Amino acid sequence: MTQLDGIVKPKTKRSKRFLQSREPKLVENIKNAMLIKGGNTSQVVTQALKDIHSLKKPNAVLYKKKNITRPFEDQTSLEFFSKKSDCSLFVFGSHNKKRPNNLVFGRMFDFHVLDMFELGIENYLSLEDFKNAKFPEGTKPMLIFAGDLFDTDNEHRRLKSLLVDFFRGPTVPCVRLSGLEHVLHFTALDGKIFLRSYRVLLKKSGCRTPRIELEEIGPSFDFSLRRVHLASDDLYKKAHKQPKQLKPKKKKNISHDAFGTKYGRLHMQKQDLSKLQTRKMKGLRKRRGEVTEEEHGSPKKAKSD
């Protein structure tokens, strides 16, 4: 009933626009994130959720009430929330003796859980602990992933994809060069994942490209990867299917050879080769009343005699 299926027609233009923004599109909206608290949360977890909310503003909703669910066992209530608030990313924070300071990062496809990663917070410094000026909300951060684990291990690769999806802002065609101030640095080292957030200071260097100095600003987390729920391969592939209309149109008739030379084919009409216009050779041009071809032939014959 949430779709514009036509049976229940929206009565106002505003509600129609609201439903249209929520329906599946060729080029999708930016993903929203919902931040949920579990049955029992500690001070660390609530502060962490608030910080992530401020990183992800305005595309995030922070729910204040506690929800007694377990994401790894029962995903129906998460799916219900996601359907109601149209959020495809979520962070579920909880705290119990077995898993202290737990954050479950996850994403959805078609309002069903695709991937879930349980990250435990070992060390945490919040935004308030760093006493310096912050960015305006909505600045697109730069994301850097360091460590070969992000490339070798399958789970870490998926985690990298989820973190890129989570923290990247809206897809923009151009960006102001002086506005590149926020950088989020993820390092996979020593069995842990370190998230640090810096402000970029562009210093004068001799040439056009500036020299970078960093100043630590935002929250800093030391995560340890606990449980993981990965989507099956075929569901993962289905989620990645891009519409054909978005694929760049291939220009026909252009081919490249091994050396990189670009070849193209020209199709022409049939040509009369006798009337073909070649380079003008003034000396060979026929002149009025002058020697013709036959006359050319006869003097030779005379010579042979």
Partner 1 sequence: MAACSIEDVLAKVEKDEAEILKNITVHKELELEFDIGNLAAFDKNPADVGLFRKHKKEEFLRSLARDNTQLLINEMWKLPTERVQEAVVAKLPEPHTRLPREKPLPKPRPPTKWEEFAKLKGIPKKKKTNLVWDDVHKEWRRRWGYKRAKDDTKDWLIEVPESADPNEDQFARRLKAKNERVAKNELNRLKNIARGQKVSVQVPPKDQSKAELGKAMQLARISTASVGKFQDKLPKEKPTRTVGKKRSFQPLIGDFNMEKQRQLDLLKVMENKKPRMNVTRAVNRQMREEDAEAARHKKEGRRGGKGGKKKGRGGGGKGRGGPKSRGGPKSKKHHGK
Question: Please, which residue, 66 or 165, has the CB nearer to partner 1?
Answer: 165
- 176-235: contacts with partner 1 (CB under 8 A): 176-178, 180, 183, 185, 187, 189-190, 194, 196, 198, 200, 202, 205-214, 216
**Phi then psi for 47, rounded to 5 degrees?**
-65, -40
What whole-number distance in Å separates Cα of residue 193 and Cα of residue 199? Answer: 20
- The CB density around residue 19, as the number of other CB atoms within 10 Å, is 16
What whole-number distance in Å separates Cα of residue 142 and Cα of residue 181? Answer: 8
- 159-178: contacts with partner 1 (CB under 8 A): 160-161, 164-165, 168, 171-178
Is 56 a binding residue for partner 1 by CB under 8 A? The answer is no
Cβ 25 vs Cβ 106: under 8 Å: no
Cβ 147 vs Cβ 8: under 8 Å: no
What whole-number distance in Å separates Cα of residue 29 and Cα of residue 291? Answer: 81
Question: Please, which residue, 175 or 291, has the CB nearer to partner 1?
Answer: 175
Distance of CA 60 to the CA centre of its chain: 18
Indicate the burial class of 257 (C-beta count within 10 angstroms; 0-12, 13-18, 19 or more).
exposed
Interacting residues of 206 by C-beta distance below 8 A, sequence separation 6+: none
- 59-88: contacts with partner 1 (CB under 8 A): 88
Q: How far is the CB of 10 from partner 1 (least distance, A)?
A: 14
In the shown chain, the binding pattern of residues 242 to 281 toward partner 1, with x for contact by CB under 8 A and - for none, equals xx--------------------------------------
Question: Please, which residue, 39 or 243, has the CB nearer to partner 1?
Answer: 243
- 99-158: contacts with partner 1 (CB under 8 A): 107-110, 114, 140-148, 150-151
Q: How far is the CB of 208 from partner 1 (least distance, A)?
A: 6
Question: Please, which residue, 20 or 292, has the CB nearer to partner 1?
Answer: 20
Give me the DSSP letters along 268-283: -----GGG------GG
Q: Where do contacts with partner 1 occur on this chain (CB under 8 A)?
A: 5-7, 23-26, 28, 31, 88, 107-110, 114, 140-148, 150-151, 160-161, 164-165, 168, 171-178, 180, 183, 185, 187, 189-190, 194, 196, 198, 200, 202, 205-214, 216, 236, 238-243
